[in-house]
Amino acid sequence: MTLVGTRKWLRDIARNSLGAGNQIEALRPSSTISILAQQPAAESILMEINNILSHAKTTSINVDLVSPEPLDPELLEDVGRLTNTLVRLDTSGKQVGLP
């Protein structure tokens, strides 16, 4: 599946939890989050990320219900940005998942 959308929640965690010289980075190709911080801060960040992800919900809909044409990845990116969600399009292009 291709993952598109915003990572505002991750930026918010970084802004609230990290000091200068520390960072959080989401590496989309490997579905990895990299945290560069002291161990206590990194553990706190991991707890916050786990809490957010434990409340995530996903709904899938058929693309045919949205558009008779294939969905443009840029459009999905815009939907994610506007709704502050992640939008996933499966590899066949027939299902869209919305948290």
Q: What is the pLDDT of residues 35-87, one digit of tens each?
A: 888 888 889 889 988 888 888 777 888 888 888 888 888 888 888 878 777 78
Rounded CA separation 54/1 (Å)? 20
Sheet holding 59-62, edge to edge: 2-5, 86-89, 95-98, 59-62
Buried b (16+ CB within 10 A) or exposed e, 61-78: eebeeeeeeeeeeeebee
pLDDT at 9 over 80: no
pTM recorded for the entire structure: 0.59
Rounded CA separation 25/34 (Å)? 5
Q: Per the structure, how many domains does the chain have? A: 1
Give which of 71, 68, 69 is closest to 79, Cα–Cα: 71
Q: Strands 32-36 and 95-98: what pairing?
A: unpaired
The phi and psi torsions of 46 (rounded to 5 degrees) equal -60, -40
Give residue 3's pLDDT: 42
Q: Which domain holds residue 92?
A: 2-98
The arithmetic mean of pLDDT across residues 18-31, rounded, is 77
